[in-house]
Amino acid sequence: MNKNEAWKRKIAYQIYPRSFCDANGDGIGDLKGITSKLDYLQSLGIDYVWLCPVYASPMDDGGYDISDYKAINPLFGTMEDMDELLAEAKKRNIKIIMDLVVNHCSDEHEWFQKALADPNCEEAEYFYFRNSENGPPNNWRSMFGGSAWEQVPDGRYYMHLFSKKQPDLNWENPKLRERIYEMVNWWLDKGLGGWRIDAITHLKKEPTLSSLPADGDDGLVGCFEPTRNYPGIGDFLTELRERTFDRYDCITVAEAAGVPYHQLGEYIGENGYFSTLFDFSYAELYSYGHTWYTCKKAWEWPKPGCVTRCLQARRKPKRSASAQSISKTTTTPAQAKSSCPRNTSPSFRRRCSARFGSSSAASPSSIRVRSSV
């Protein structure tokens, strides 16, 4: 992994392939279209192109539901087109970054299809399958809404923290991890310049998969507390780095929601899991009705473990449209401070901490990104 920190002075350009440049005239942007614009991209002075997913996929979640990690979606071209893009970009000193999506795959992936066909096969252990006679195994809520469990024809349930077409991969299984590492290195051997790593803080789940007190009228509970940055995830991330990234000159950018300020060193420090990460606190300042001045002091926060109680305490009656307007809010800083940080959820505290902790530890470095859609 690139530890010389030269990337901090680089510029990345994000491309959503579907709408960037259509080379064959079918109305859909493609890899050849991107290759045709490399001279233009070079003229902008960019160093990296972050390519949104172009893998084989049924496109249930914009390509983040991957059915084959070593194949290109025909919508965007072929593997030969991808090889050409990598080679031509290299000539211009541009590195290609791809999305690495390994918290989950598509339900159309060969591994999952084998698991459906044979509950006793090796691939069945790559996923979180559970038997349950009384409905879903627990009351966790998917981030896309509804239960985080889906039943298959033979009666088993599988976990999906996101879409039901994105079954979660079971990182507790060493054989699965080996297959993922082989795939990551296969791409890096091709000349890939690095990875934007999707939903990476969800790899480790609370081992008992137990239900929690509901936080909504649907009887379900958000899955953040038992699945996001859960204790022990560092073992997985260290192994991933050592078996893949450390062997190459590559940049790694983690989509790492839920990382508290005091853990940034573990994630992006000198011996961190990744080169850098995305800081989501800017986009989540108004969670639960709070504002930036609410959670400045990390040492004032309550101990973890009170998520359900705190969420229930935060529930409020519906307000009128005018009252909901941020510009017309009547909440004063003093009122906001009195309601937080002692009575808010650990997940909110984590989000605030990444931005407003008082420690002098290194904060996420901001690689400049230009986005083209």
**Residues carrying an active site annotation:** 198, 255
Paired with 14 in beta bridges are 50, 371
One-letter amino acid at 56 equals: A
CA distances from 312 to 211, 221, 254, 286, 368 (A): 16, 11, 31, 17, 39
To the nearest 10°, report the CA torsion of 197, 272, 186, 64. -10
CB 198 within 8 A of CB 103: yes
Full DSSP string of 129-158: EE--SSSSSS-EEPTTSSBSEEE-TTS-EE
Q: How many CB atoms lie within 10 A of CB 144?
A: 14
Both tokens of 311, joined, read: 């969420």
How much of the chain is in helix, strand and coil states, percent to nearest 5? Answer: 35, 15, 50
Cβ(165)–Cβ(65) under 8 Å?
yes
The Cα 120–Cα 308 span in angstroms is: 36
Taking the C-alpha atoms of residue 29 and residue 63, their distance in angstroms, rounded to an integer, is: 14
Contact 252, 195 (CB under 8 A): yes
| Nearest CA-CA partner of 247 in 190, 297, 161, 188 | 188
Q: Rounded to an integer, what distance in angstroms lies between the CA atom of residue 18 and that of residue 174?
A: 35
Secondary structure of residue 17 in the 3-state scheme: helix
How far apart are alpha carbons 27 and 99 in whole angstroms?
A: 23
CB atoms within 10 A of CB 78: 15
User: Can you tell me the distance from the alpha carbon of 176 to that of 21, in angstroms, rounded to the nearest whole number?
Assistant: 36
